[in-house]
Amino acid sequence: MKAVQFSEHGDRDVLTYDEFDDLEPGRDEVLVDVKAGALNHLDIWTRKGLPGVDLEMPHIPGSDAAGVVEAVGENVTRFEEGDHVAVSAGVACGQCEFCRDGDESLCVRFHIIGEHVRGVHAEEAVVPEANLVEVPKHVDWEVAGSASLVFQTAWRMLVDRAGLEAGEKVLVLGASGGVGHAAVQIADYAGAEVFATASTDEKLEYARECGADHVINYEDEDFAAQVKELTGKRGVDVVVDHIGEATYQDSLKSLAKGGRVVTCGATTGPNPDAGLNRIFWNQLSVIGSTMATPGQVDDVLELVWDGTFEPRVRETLPMSEAERAHEMIENREGFGKVVVIPDSEL
């Protein structure tokens, strides 16, 4: 089979689309004929090299994909040949205290397909049974292959960790990205008043289409000052911030008394000034979040499959153009997800 892969960390030129050993499913695994996958910023970090993550090389990137079940291991009971499935990339041990309590995303041995182990941007992928969700036959492959990671992440951030309630005000930073555009839709669905930032007027218009009530071009305006002005100096109840050092202080400034910042990443750096004086004086909460539990994944993906939520696709490329796909993510080109398809499917 052919797969996107790299044999060393580095810039985009380390990526190739070459032959890779054929795969066979283990006892608890499923072999998937991949029809479409999608990129996340995680793929960029993995390619460049993450501290403390020692990958087996060559490594296949990719945490999002969907396809048809081709074969199953002898212990697999949930799927059979011909089923349509999508990957849910968070792998839990199922045995630690957090898994036993039903919050697998807090698993002490939690890891992510495509980040810590071989990913799914290939003609075929072997995936643990527990990391697949059924996809209704009417759902397009581009939708099925691009929804899981960002929508489950945004759902857990807002619904579970931040406890978002109808009528609250929510600021979504980077609303044109994968998690950002999912968060706008989820906040709107929850009945919140949604504020969104992006870098161009075109991206802001897309954010409005996804449900944003107010949009701010952060290249032209101080978003914290704009939020205060739009809310009569009150601020918002929740900020969704996956950007990190570059935005953290302004995220705190944007909050109303008792507000909360919820974060799932730090693309501009993980170590901002803590801002403890603002946190204790305004009684703010800073909440971490990663990926969702299986039940939360099912809840949010049902709303994708029925059309309530829509992963916006900015570009669809053959896997042989993986360098270009990575370039689009790194350069923040366009709005929504970048999808890659095996060349054999084109």
Exposure b/e, 81-120, CB count within 10 A at least 16 = b:
eebbbbbbbbbbeeeeebbeeebbbebeebebbbbbbbbb
Can you give the pLDDT at residue 189?
A: 98
Can you give the pLDDT at residue 267?
A: 86
Can you give the pLDDT at residue 57?
A: 97
Can you give the pLDDT at residue 28?
A: 97
Query: How far is the CA of 334 from the CAs of 39, 195, 206, 302, 314, in angstroms?
Result: 13, 19, 10, 26, 6
Res. 210 pLDDT band, cuts 50 70 90: very high
Mean pLDDT for the chain?
Answer: 96
Could you report the per-residue pLDDT of 115-149, keeping only the tens digit for each? 999 999 999 999 999 999 999 999 999 999 999 99
Pair 90, 77: CB distance under 8 Å? no
51-68: average pLDDT: 96
90-100: average pLDDT: 95
Give residues with Cβ within 8 angstroms of 209, minimum separation 6. Answer: none
Could you report the per-residue pLDDT of 287-309, keeping only the tens digit for each? 999 999 999 999 999 999 999 99
Res. 311 pLDDT band, cuts 50 70 90: very high
Distance separating alpha carbons of residues 63 and 40, to the nearest angstrom: 8
Can you give the pLDDT at residue 324?
A: 98
Query: Taking 90 as the threshold, does the pLDDT of residue 155 lie above it?
Result: yes
Query: Taking 90 as the threshold, does the pLDDT of residue 346 lie above it?
Result: no
Domain ranges of the chain: 2-147+311-345, 151-288
Could you report the per-residue pLDDT of 251-293, keeping only the tens digit for each? 999 999 999 999 999 988 889 999 999 999 999 999 999 999 9
Q: Which CATH architecture has domain 2-147+311-345?
A: Alpha-Beta Complex (3.90)
Q: Comparing C-alpha atoms, which of 10, 4, 134, 154 is closest to residue 69? A: 134
Can you give the pLDDT at residue 280?
A: 97
HSE (CB half, 13 Å, CA atoms) of 82? 0
Can you give the pLDDT at residue 178?
A: 94
Could you report the per-residue pLDDT of 46-57, keeping only the tens digit for each? 999 998 899 999
Can you give the pLDDT at residue 92?
A: 95
The CATH code for residues 151-288 is: 3.40.50.720
Share of the chain above pLDDT 90, in %: 97
